[in-house]
């Protein structure tokens, strides 16, 4: 059978060959949304734990006792800048998704690279902030329960950003090789935006609310 005839037959039999699920949504996309919904529970637990312990540094018998709250050392202007960087990376991510939908691979690569670089800058800021806490302020992961809760929450978010950057770089590499699927970029974008909205919550609840 010639290629043309095969394609015609395929169009008749499988007019919608990507979305053959009963929901009309691809398994990858639905799977990502289910994962994100479950991640809400994970971050909810971490944020609640921080809220409960944030005012109780080093006073619980049997635990090591640095009596300083981690919030005493927050550098709000610096954290605001890193928040802005993450927000900007969300914009570059949606531009990447729009580019792949248009079939513009050059811009797709540009925006994916920009997003990964901005994610890297955010991580650099977080490493700088953590180093400051540990070296200059003497507040580490095990200094007190409040700092443990803080480092666990923001560190977990940082791990999510690292995974996101790896996914972005993978997408970039794929775009140079095989034919890239627009939906794959969209699914990576969903993950990246989720990382951004979790930071929206952390920035307000942990850093800005006194």
Does 72 interact with another protein (rule: CB under 8 A)?
A: no
Stretch that binds another protein, among 26-34, 112-120, 123-131, 164-172 (CB under 8 A): 26-34
Q: With beta carbons less than 8 A apart as the criterion, state whether 92 and 113 touch.
A: no
Site track 40-59 with another protein (rule: CB under 8 A), x = hit: xx-xxx-xx--xx--xx--x
Question: Among the residues of 132-181, which ranges form H helices?
Answer: 145-176
Q: Which is nearer to another protein, 59 or 159 (CB)?
A: 59
Q: Is 9 in the site for another protein (CB under 8 A)?
A: no
| Cα–Cα distance measured from residue 36 to residue 191, given in angstroms and rounded to the nearest whole number | 7
Minimum CB separation from another protein for residue 121, in Å?
Answer: 16
CB of 194 to another protein, least distance (A): 7
Instruction: Print the binding letters for residues 87-106 with another protein: x by CB under 8 A, - otherwise.
Output: xx-xx-xxx--x-xx-x-x-
Select from 20-28, 119-127, 133-141, 154-162 the region that touches another protein (CB under 8 A).
Answer: 20-28
Other C-beta atoms closer than 10 Å to the C-beta of 118 total 22
Asked if 6 is part of the footprint of another protein (rule: CB under 8 A), the reply reads no
Q: Long-range contacts made by residues 97-101, C-beta under 8 angstroms, separation at least 24?
A: 97/182, 97/185, 97/186, 97/189, 100/180, 100/182, 100/185, 100/186, 101/182
In terms of phi and psi (left: phi > 0; alpha: psi -120 to 50; beta: otherwise), the region of 69 is beta
Among residues 9, 20, 60, 127, the one that binds another protein under rule CB under 8 A: 60
The single-letter DSSP state of residue 180 is: P
Tokens representing 193 are 């935006």
Cα–Cα distance measured from residue 115 to residue 118, given in angstroms and rounded to the nearest whole number: 5
Q: Can you give the binding site for another protein, defined by CB under 8 A?
A: 15-19, 23-25, 29-30, 33-34, 36-41, 43-45, 47-48, 51-52, 55-56, 59-60, 76-77, 80, 83-84, 87-88, 90-91, 93-95, 98, 100-101, 103, 105, 179-183, 186, 189-190, 193-194, 196-197, 200-201, 203-205, 208-210
């Amino acid at each position: 059978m010639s290629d043309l005839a095969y394609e015609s037959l395929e169009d008749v039999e499988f007019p919608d060959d990507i979305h053959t699920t009963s929901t009309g949504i691809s398994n990858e996309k639905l799977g990502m949304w289910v994962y994100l919904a479950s991640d809400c529970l994970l971050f909810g637990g971490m944020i609640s734990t921080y809220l409960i312990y944030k005012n109780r540094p080093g006073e619980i018998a049997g635990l090591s006792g640095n009596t300083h709250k981690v919030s005493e050392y927050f550098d709000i202007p610096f954290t605001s800048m890193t928040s802005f960087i993450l927000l900007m990376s969300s914009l570059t991510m949606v531009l990447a998704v729009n580019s792949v939908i248009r079939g513009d691979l050059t811009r797709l690569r540009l925006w994916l690279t920009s997003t990964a670089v901005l994610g890297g800058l955010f991580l650099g800021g977080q490493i700088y902030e953590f180093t400051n806490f540990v070296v200059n302020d003497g507040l580490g992961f095990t200094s007190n329960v409040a700092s443990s809760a803080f480092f666990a929450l923001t560190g977990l978010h940082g791990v999510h950003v690292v995974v996101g950057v790896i996914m972005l770089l993978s997408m970039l590499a794929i775009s140079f090789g095989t034919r890239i699927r627009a939906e794959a970029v969209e699914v990576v974008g969903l993950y990246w935006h989720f990382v951004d909205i979790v930071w929206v919550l952390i920035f307000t609840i942990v850093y800005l609310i006194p």
